[in-house]
Amino acid sequence: MERVLHSGILPDDSGRARSEKAALTAYALIMVGAALLWGFAYWALGRPVSATIPAGYSFFSALSLLYFFRTKRYGVFRFTQLLFLLCLPCFVQWSLGGFAHSGVVLIWAILCPLGSLMLGGAVGKSSVFWLGAYLVLIAVSAYLDSLLSGLIPPFPHLITVLFFALNIAAVSSVVFVLLRYYLSENQDIMGVIDEKNRMLDERAQSLVEEKERTERALTEAERLRREAEMQRKAAEEARATVEEQSRQLLELDRIKTRFFSNMSHEFRTPLTLIIGPLEHLLSQAHQKLDAEQSRQFEVMLRNSRRLLRLINQLLDISKIEAGKMELRARETNVVEFLRAITLSFVPYAERKGISVEFCSNWEELPLFLDAEKMEKILYNLLSNALKFTPEKGRVSVSLGSCDGQSSNDVEVAVKDTGRGIPPNQIPHLFDRFFQVDGSATREQEGTGIGLSLVKDLVEVHHGSIRVESEYPGGTEFIIRLPRGREHLSESEIVEALEQESYGSQPLLEMASVEGRLSPAPPSQESREEAARKPGMECVLVVDDNSDVRQYVRVCLQDTLWVEEATNGLEGVDRARELKPDLVVSDVMMPKLDGHELCRILKGDTQFAQMPIILLTARASEEMKVAGLKIGADDYLSKPFSSGELKARVENLLKIRRHELRLRQFNDTLAKLNQKLQDQSALLKKQAITDGWTGLFNRRHLEARLAEELAEAKRTGAPLTVMMADADFFKKINDQFSHQAGDQVLQAIAQILMKNVCHSDIAARYGGEEFVVVLPGVTLETGVTFSEKIRKLVESSNWSSIHPDLKVTISLGVSSNTDVPHHDQLLALADEKLYQSKREGRNRVSY
């Protein structure tokens, strides 16, 4: 690539421009002159064709030089001159008659390199190149000439050759001089041009590299963009796939939940009809079954209960996995709760030779917990402890605070003296379906879901559980539960619906492990006698399943009269007809379900107090709460044991009998209570009033006077006390009888009561003396009031008592402005009273 000399690089002053123009003009004139001279010479020699050769050389040399000056492209000029110098000898030889005139070739070969060297001298190192090129040309020309005419060629046209040679030399010399002059004048500029060309080359190279980098970056960015787009599409497809899978999983979860809910009903109903009849048969074993049959039935019953327990655990796990295990916590005395659960395991533990203990730091501790779920927790922990504890071992349940903790939590610990748990097994102990000994030869049976369920149920209570074990040496499970209710949401707290008993469920569960624990059944004679007993309590059984009705009848008919109804609607009609003492009803029935039956009967005043037990195969907490809310008194989940049914029926009937007696007692107590209230009111009145006059007594007077005086002192209000005494009262008693004296006192009391205000205090002070306290009344007003009372007594008609009877009174008045204390106030009034008596009676002193 040739360097480009931009016009902006060269100096643009007027002197240099004139120099360049003069050089160009001189060269052009020389070239034109040389062309004319050459042309004339060849024309004169009779070779007009050859005249075009020097003329063309001169003409194209002038054009190339002009191009050089205009564009500053030195390479183009050099190439043009080289072309002419190489090609012109061939044309000369051809015009002179070929290679036979080799002398011309020799002279041309000498002169042409001379001109080329002069041209090449302007550019320095390139002279070596041109010299070498023309030496090769000389050698080639000499070789060709020797082949044709020998080594010493003839010179027939010596004058032409000499003229030609001199002409060429002159032209080349002129070109050399002009170029030397021009380049010497512009040497500095050429250096700058070269430096600028180098910088431009570097800049061009850097731009090319930058362009390549930019293209690579753009290519990389485009590649990354395409990859990002592909990844985005892949992510969207993956998200769509995940969403679809999530939707399918949710649908499967809903299907699974519905399946377990339906299977709960399908499992529990047949289990009820297995466990119930088995229990009944075993209760009759001593009369109807031999030992082998009794043993087989016990095995059947034990395994049926075990199956029920496994079903319940699987259903609980299903609820937990579906996120539907809800906490329904009630405030419970956890000490009583734990003690009852622990004691329910004592009979089974004693038969194994294991001691069971319970200890607590409190006598009573309220704690919010779900009793049903907490019973399952303790059952699993205690049954495991008893299962792995050897004979003469010990199992303890303790309740205490969290030592070393600032929190208010409590800890429930279940500890045994069994063989312990290997350390490498402890981290997996609460994993679902994990068993410490999972081999086929393990000593204890199990499913591996009990402790996992325990952990889940503890976490539902917002608590935690950990295990400490020494292997071998025993194991301790520690449950930490928060106190208070701040950690619970409103939906997790429910009010107590009834007084629940604790420990019944673990006792029944342990019966499935140990065997049957029931009292001996009544004899046949006692059952027949009970069936004929008049006034026997009636139980109505409502269920659309005839087997269930028959089973309940068999369970209850020994001591109760049992009637049946096949659906809810018939049950309502039969209840209104029979007026039973208790109703046992299924929940899911045709025509009318158990909830609606309960609502109708409880809404009828004649059945409002009648107990109702609901039976259902759906053992959810929500179903139980729904039944209890509409008025059901108890709730049994299928399958249920005959013993539990009998116990609940008997308890409710006993409560009903107690309620009937209690209502009678309440009626009696209500009457007695009214009498007591009347007597109490009378006693209260007698405690503060005088029995003969009806005025306040002296004790109440002094208490009220102290209160009024303190209030007057606080507010600065006046207070006046008037004390009155019947004149010659002893004479009235002696002359007219004591009865007449009593009537006089009553009459004076009536005068006082008619004339005092509601805020005034009128009292009998003792004997024939009366006191009136006048709050907010000044001494002057009190004197006026006293004078009024005196006149009223004096002017009263006493003839109704005795025709000759005349009654007057003497009065003394004092005020709180005179003395500060109530005793002093009374004493001052008494003093003024006796002053009136000394001054002649029937007057007011103050």
The CA-CA-CA angle for residues 21, 27, 30, to 5°, reads: 140
The beta-carbon contacts of 824-830 under 8 Å, at least 24 apart in sequence, are 825/705, 825/709, 825/719, 825/721, 826/702, 826/705, 826/721, 826/723, 826/771, 828/721, 829/721, 829/722, 829/723, 829/771, 830/723
Contact 762, 696 (CB under 8 A): yes
- In the numeric block, the tokens 């390549």 are attached to 212
Catalytic site includes residue 707: no
Which of 279, 411, 509, 768 is catalytic? The answer is 768
DSSP state of 439: S
Backbone φ and ψ for 737, nearest 5 degrees, come out as: 100, 160
DSSP state of 428: G
* Two tokens, residue 205: 């190279």
Residue 478's H or E segment, with its range, is strand 474-481
- Indicate the length of the chain as a whole number: 846
Residue 766's H or E segment, with its range, is strand 761-766
Please tell me the number of Cα atoms within 13 Å of 552 on its side-chain side.
30
What order do you get walking across the sheet with 582-586 strand by strand?
561-565, 538-542, 582-586, 612-616, 634-637
- In the numeric block, the tokens 């080289």 are attached to 82
Do the strands 809-815 and 719-726 form a parallel or antiparallel pair, or are they unpaired? antiparallel
Contact 846, 833 (CB under 8 A): no
Q: Under DSSP, is residue 502 helix (H, G, I), strand (E, B) or coil? A: coil
Contact 424, 363 (CB under 8 A): no
- Give how far Cα 747 sits from Cα of 695, 726, 797, 813, Å: 12, 11, 10, 21
* Two tokens, residue 704: 């009220």
Contact 313, 266 (CB under 8 A): no
The distance of Cα 480 from the centroid of its chain, to the nearest Å, equals 21
d(CA 487, CA 33): 119
d(CA 407, CA 580): 54
d(CA 174, CA 62): 12
Within 118-256, strands assigned E span: none
d(CA 706, CA 712): 10
* Two tokens, residue 90: 């061939």
Contact 275, 299 (CB under 8 A): no
Neighbours of 466 (CB within 10 A): 14
* Two tokens, residue 556: 């209850």
Catalytic residue numbers read 768
